[in-house]
């Protein structure tokens, strides 16, 4: 028989503020309802990746995105709070080679031209 050291995961249970997101180990990102509304994220969100800067951008669908295939990700109600919305960005994280389990936590996001820009503490240039 062998034992393994178990460490509790310490989380910050403080409510999210405007401009903050949390990333789960599963690749879900949580945002406040007000941040989602401000960016037009109601039912669907479009994910964009920039491999040069290791950033993920989230934006509302545009007319240009409409076509034979739906390209958006579902914006779901948060599990723990009605004031949160969740979007799974796991595929975008994998595209950039980012491990959600290692990067899980709370982050601030940037905003530009209707985009929510996530960098997860990686390259902040450009």
Residue 118: CB partners within 8 Å, gap ≥ 6?
21, 29, 55, 56, 57, 58, 89, 107, 109
**Quick check: 78 pLDDT over 90?**
no
Quick one: three-class SS letters along 16-81? CCCCEEEECCCCEEEEEHHHHHHCCCCCEEEEEEECCCCEEEEECCCHHHCCCCCCCEECEECCCC
pLDDT number for residue 125: 44
Helix, strand or coil, per DSSP, at residue 87: strand
CB 83 within 8 A of CB 30: no
Q: Would you say residue 10 has pLDDT above 70?
A: no
- Mean pLDDT, residues 68-78 taken together: 79
pLDDT tens readout for residues 32-66: 999 999 999 989 999 999 988 899 999 998 876 66
Mean pLDDT on 64-93: 82
The pLDDT value recorded for residue 91 is: 92
* pLDDT score at 57: 95
pTM: 0.80
């Amino acid at each position: 028989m062998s034992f393994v050291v178990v460490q509790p995961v310490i989380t910050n249970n403080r409510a999210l503020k405007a401009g903050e997101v949390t990333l789960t180990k599963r690749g879900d990102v949580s945002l406040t309802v007000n941040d989602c509304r401000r960016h037009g994220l109601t039912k669907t969100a479009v994910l964009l990746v920039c491999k040069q800067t290791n950033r993920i951008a989230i934006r509302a669908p545009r007319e240009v995105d409409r076509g034979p295939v739906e390209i958006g990700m579902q914006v779901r109600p948060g599990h723990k709070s009605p004031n949160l919305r969740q979007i799974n960005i796991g595929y975008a994280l994998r595209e950039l080679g980012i491990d959600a389990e290692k990067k899980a936590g709370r982050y601030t996001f940037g905003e530009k031209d209707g985009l929510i820009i996530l960098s997860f503490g990686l390259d902040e240039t450009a």
